[in-house]
């Protein structure tokens, strides 16, 4: 590997949209296994993935670790290839540490800092009006989480918690991996494929509330044009009214 691949590109930043979170559903007798502890009430899956399917992070990522509650056997789960997700059962909510370990060493030309995320596992839909007895149970951890470290600057947006008709809870959060002054190799990996364009049609009619398509963007731009015209008209009206008031003022002073 040429040493030029490890050189950093000044004044350049690349952001990679990502999603992380968990899905959870109540355990039914059919879903229970003989080894499932009787006190466990839910099955859940915690995950990390890029938003855009065309972005391949596998050349960058050596492994992804998920640090679960210390009461789980082997609480640190390691995955070296996608899908980066862990499925377990449990009864309480707790914090999960997701850590992205990038390929180490300048010989690969990557040499980026690891990226660490804290995700609060959700088993129940958020309902602040629910009686105290119905509020989610939280497993307390004695261990303090390590200092958060980012491979770049994060841009997280609030968690979206949805409950489907079958009772499945989805707690998903959008964030961005931001590589400031990436190495030439990192830049090459992240720009090797064109970014996904906004599709013109839904991939599935059932995903109407989950996908953003080109007609939505056009409608939004049209609405913005209408409001911009309204604002311009209001500014013009105010300007004309101001001129009339100035004329009345001058007339009174004469």
pLDDT at 216: 62
The pair of three-digit structure tokens given for residue 1, joined into one six-digit string: 């590997």
The pair of three-digit structure tokens given for residue 171, joined into one six-digit string: 């707690």
d(CA 13, CA 194): 17
pTM, entire model: 0.64
Biggest alpha carbon–alpha carbon distance for the chain: 98
Q: Within the chain, which residue ranges are assigned CATH 2.60.40.1970?
A: 3-195
d(CA 46, CA 52): 18
d(CA 118, CA 253): 69
- Secondary structure (H, E, C), 125-157: CCCCCCCHHHCCCECCCCCCCCCCCCCCCCCCC
pLDDT at 39: 95
pLDDT at 5: 64
Per CATH, the homologous superfamily of domain 3-195 is YEATS domain (2.60.40.1970)
The pair of three-digit structure tokens given for residue 54, joined into one six-digit string: 């065309």
In a structure prediction context, what are the per-residue pLDDT tens digits for the chain, which is 254 residues long?
455 567 888 888 888 888 899 999 999 999 899 999 999 999 999 999 988 766 788 888 999 999 999 999 999 999 999 999 999 999 999 999 999 999 876 555 667 788 899 999 999 987 544 444 444 454 543 333 333 333 333 444 445 566 666 788 999 888 888 888 888 888 888 887 765 555 556 565 655 544 455 566 677 777 888 889 999 999 999 999 999 999 998 888 87
User: What are the angstrom distances between the C-alpha of 35 and each of 38, 40, 89?
Assistant: 9, 11, 11
């Amino acid at each position: 590997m040429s040493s030029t691949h490890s050189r950093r590109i000044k004044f350049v930043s690349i952001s990679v949209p990502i999603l992380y979170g968990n899905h959870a559903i109540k355990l039914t007798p059919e879903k229970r296994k003989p080894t499932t502890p009787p006190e466990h009430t839910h099955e859940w899956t915690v995950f990390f993935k890029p938003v855009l399917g065309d972005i391949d992070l596998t050349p960058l990522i050596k492994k992804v670790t998920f640090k679960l509650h210390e009461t789980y056997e082997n609480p640190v789960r390691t995955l070296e290839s996608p899908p980066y997700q862990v499925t377990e059962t449990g009864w309480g909510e707790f914090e999960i540490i997701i850590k992205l370990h990038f390929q180490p060493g300048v010989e690969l030309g990557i040499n980026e800092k690891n990226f660490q995320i804290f995700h609060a596992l959700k088993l129940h839909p958020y309902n602040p009006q629910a009686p105290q007895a119905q509020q989610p149970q939280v497993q307390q951890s004695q261990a303090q989480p390590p200092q958060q470290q980012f491979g770049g600057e994060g841009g997280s947006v609030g968690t979206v918690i949805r409950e489907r008709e079958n009772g499945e809870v989805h707690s998903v959060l959008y964030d961005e991996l931001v590589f400031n002054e990436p190495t030439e190799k990192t830049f090459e990996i992240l720009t090797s494929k064109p970014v996904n364009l906004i599709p013109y049609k839904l991939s599935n009619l059932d995903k109407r509330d989950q996908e953003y398509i080109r007609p939505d963007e056009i409608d939004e731009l049209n609405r913005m044009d209408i409001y911009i015209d309204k604002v311009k008209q209001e500014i013009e009206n105010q300007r004309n009214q101001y001129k009339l008031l100035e004329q009345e003022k001058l007339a009174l002073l004469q």
